[in-house]
Amino acid sequence: MALKLPGQWVWDSWFAFDGQNHHAFYLQASRALGDQNRRHRNVTVGHAISSDLKNWTVVADALTPSEVPAPDSWTTWTGSVVKGDDGLWWMFYTGTSREDAGERQTVCAATSTDLMTWNKVEDLPVAAADERWYKTLAAGYDNEPFRDPWVFKLPGQNEWTMLTTAGSIEAQSRREEAIMGVAKSADLKTWTIQPPLGGPGQGFGETEVFQFEIVDGVPILLFCCGSQWLSDERRAAGEIGGVYSMPVAQDLSEVNFNRATLFPDTSLYASRLVQNTDGDWNLIAFLNNVDGEFVGELCDPIPVTADPVKGLVPRA
C-alpha cells in the first residue's frame, strides 16, 4: 500500500537500497497545520523501510533543522543519498535559514554508517549558487534557488556530479528562468560549481527534483514543474504541470528542456525512479492534487520504461 501517514503530509522523497531493504526519505509536516501551504516551512525529513517498495515501516526521522545560525536553520528540504567509495552513506539536502528569511537555498550534507543515524557535516553548506551563472541574493535578486541536489556518477566517470534546481541570470522573465545547476566533486566533500545545463526560455520557469538514470538502455532526465511555471506555449498545448522527462546524452553534453514530455498521470509530483530487486524500473511520487484537494502521500510503485523519443512511459 502507499506510504500514507495519518498525522503527516508526505511529499518529495528520495531512496537508497542497502542490499536488502529500500530506504525512503521524505519531506513531512503535521496535518494539524491545517493549511497544506504551511508545510514547506514546518518540515522534517522522515524515514521508512520496505523490502518491496509497497509495504513500509516508519522508523525514526532522519533530519531536522539546525539551531540558528546555520544554513539549514529553517528547513531541511529535498535531497538524495549515495554511498561513498569508502562505504560511508551521504545525504545531500536543501537548507534554508531564518537568517536569510528562507530566500537563500544551499546544499547541505549529513553522513551515516547505517542509513539510520545521520550526522551533519561541518562547514555547511557544501555547495551554493555561483553568481557568475546563477541567481543569488548577493547579486541583488530577491531569491536564490539552488536546491534538490541529485548526486550520482555519470557513466564512465570517477567524479561525482550534482544536479540542482537553479535560476538563470540571463532570463528575461521569471516564467522562463529555469536552468539545471551543476557541481562536481572527487570526494563528496569539496564541490566545484560548474556552468548550468539547459538555458532560459526553454519552456519552464522552475524545474525541480532532478534525477538522471539510464532506464532500459535510454539515458533519462527526470524533473517536475508546477502549472504556474509553465511557458505560455505549454499552457496553450493544454499542459497543467506535473512530472516531466526527456532522453538526454549519456554524458549530459546536451540538455534542451524544450524536448521534455509530460508523464500521463498529472496527479503525481516530485517523482523518483527506483529499481526493485528484479532490476525493473518504477516511478514513485507523491499524490499532489486530486479533485482539487491536496493529498500528501506517496503512491505505490508504477512500472515504467523509457522510449528514446517520448522519454519515460508506463510499462505495459
Number of domains comprising the chain = 1
Residue 1 included in any domain: no
**Proportion of the chain above pLDDT 90, given as a percent:** 98
Coil vs helix vs strand at 156 = coil
For residue 173, give the CATH number of its domain: 2.115.10.20
Coil vs helix vs strand at 87 = coil
Nearest CA to 46 among 92, 90, 1, 77?
A: 77
**pLDDT number for residue 32:** 98
Residue 3 included in any domain: no
Residue 114 included in any domain: yes
Burial class (CB in 10 A: 0-12, 13-18, 19+), 95: buried
CA distance 36 to 16: 27
Residue 2 included in any domain: no
Residue 179 included in any domain: yes
**H helices present in the chain, as ranges:** 232-236
Q: What pLDDT digit, counting tens, does each position of 245-269 carry?
A: 999 999 999 899 999 999 999 999 9
Question: Is the pLDDT reported for residue 176 higher than 90?
Answer: yes
Do residues 85 and 101 make contact, with C-beta atoms less than 8 angstroms apart?
A: no
Residue 162 included in any domain: yes
Q: What pLDDT digit, counting tens, does each position of 91-144 carry?
A: 999 999 999 999 999 999 999 999 999 999 999 999 999 999 999 999 999 999
DSSP characters over 24-69: EEEEEEEGGG-SGGGGGGS-EEEEEEESSSSS-EE-S--B-PPPSS
**pLDDT number for residue 2:** 84
Residue whose C-alpha cell reads 498545448 in the numeric block: 237
Residue 46 included in any domain: yes
Residue 228 φ/ψ, nearest 5 degrees: -70, -15
| Domain span including residue 172 | 8-314
**pLDDT number for residue 316:** 85
Do residues 59 and 47 make contact, with C-beta atoms less than 8 angstroms apart?
A: yes
The whole-number average pLDDT for the span 27-52 is: 98
**pLDDT number for residue 128:** 98
Residue 298 included in any domain: yes
Please, which pLDDT band fits residue 1 given cuts at 50, 70 and 90? low
Nearest CA to 156 among 222, 251, 248?
A: 251
